[in-house]
Amino acid sequence: MTVNGEVISLLGTKVDPEQDVVTVDGKPIQMSTPRTLMLNKPAGYITTRSDPHARDTVMSLVPEIPGLHPIGRLDKDTTGLLLLTNDGTLTNALTHPRHRVNKTYHAWVQEIPTERAVRKLMTGVEIEGKKTAPAQVEVLRVDKHRTLLAITIHEGRKRQVRLMCAAVGHPVISLTRVSLGPLVLGHLKEGKWRDLSPAEVQSLFRAAGVKEREDK
């Protein structure tokens, strides 16, 4: 057994179900009743449980639930679908690189990308010394000096979509995540949240290639 990554051999070791991550044979152990929320994250909030600089975090937008934490990250200026859970098994299923769960973003970018620029986004561009995996890209709307792209990726590199678009010469103006796996943001208003249904949670496990909860 490990607690926060450290092997525990002493009987009677105490853990905090709200703070500690406990694993047995590499699998997270559920310490409290599983609950998963979908939040439509507004701009200006950082995706972390707390911040030493007293900036606004997404935790201020959702109820206090033991062990609740964000699954993955959206940067401060990015809006849209963010999941928060106290279910370590679900977190692992959605964040482990081998599971390749798709995430779709709507990105307004500067100017109008050429077919060559869109093709580069689709086949992969080099950011921070490493080429991105192939992406799905669709042009949704073209205005005079900006374009709305739908970009679907399965990687989780920091600020990936922004860096990809900048790499092809079309910096992002605004960015919203509109889906994660089978879940879509829909009409959930910015700053609001809702509980996922058991069926929605199971659909996330299936999207990750996990047929059933590993802690059952």
Tokens 């599971």 correspond to 99
Q: From CA 215, how far away is CA 23, in angstroms rounded?
A: 11
Q: From CA 214, how far away is CA 216, in angstroms rounded?
A: 6
Catalytic, out of 20, 51, 75, 195: 75
- Measured over the CA atoms of residue 194, residue 159, residue 49 and residue 182, the dihedral's sign is positive
16 catalytic per annotation: no
CA-wise closest residue to 149 among 123, 114, 183, 184: 114
Q: Is 150 exposed, middle or buried (0-12, 13-18, 19+ CB in 10 A)?
A: middle
List residues with catalytic annotation: 75
